[in-house]
Structure 1
Amino acid sequence: MTPPESTAVAVELERLRGAVDTGFATLNGRLDVALQRTSTVESDIADLKADVEALKRNRWPLPALAALTGAGGLAVSVWQAIGR
């Protein structure tokens, strides 16, 4: 027969092993959730970058339209000044 001390140590080691296994399983689950959230955030950032690039491409006519409006206003003013 084994002495009671070694049996107690073996039982305690088995309990410790179960606690460590449970801790690792919990940690693994949390890491999986964090990885999924990170992937979601990365895809959201990529979508936002694409939206910003589309807005930048569509923004270029605004200064040209402002210049044409100013030139049109100047032409109308000169035409009215000459016509009077």
Structure 2
Amino acid sequence: MTTPSPAEPVAVAVELERLRGTMEAGFARVDGSLALLVQRGDQTDKQLADHETRLDALERGRWPLPSIAAVCGLAGLGIALYELAAR
């Protein structure tokens, strides 16, 4: 069995330091990508809430139309019955 030379531990330490730097750079890139995805998700949630608000406003403004149609229909029926009774 051979004994390791004094240069081998230094080489191992240098390679470990390079590996550490590579891992840190990779984690930083992944962290940046995740932050971007979170930001896009927040923007999507904001847009969805805005669309819900606008849709609710449109639905509130639309509700009187069927009521007005029903009142006009009843008024027409009333006028028709009045004319029929007047004969």
Bin the TM-score by the shorter chain: 0.7 to 0.9
For residues 16-55 of structure 1, the aligned pairs below 5 Å read 16-55=19-58
Runs of 4 or more, structure 1, over 6 Å off, are: none
Alignment TM-score, normalising by the size of structure 2 = 0.79
- The alignment covers a number of residue pairs equal to 83
Deviations 1:45-75 (A, max 9, x none): 1101211221222122123112112112212
Alignment TM-score, normalising by the size of structure 1 = 0.81
Point out where structure 1 has 5 or more consecutive residues left out of the alignment: none
Distance 1:15 1:83 in 2: 103
Matched to 1:24, the amino acid is F
Distance 1:16 1:80 in 2: 96
Distance 2:41 2:67 in 1: 41
**Partner of residue 69, structure 1:** 72
Q: % of aligned pairs identical?
A: 43
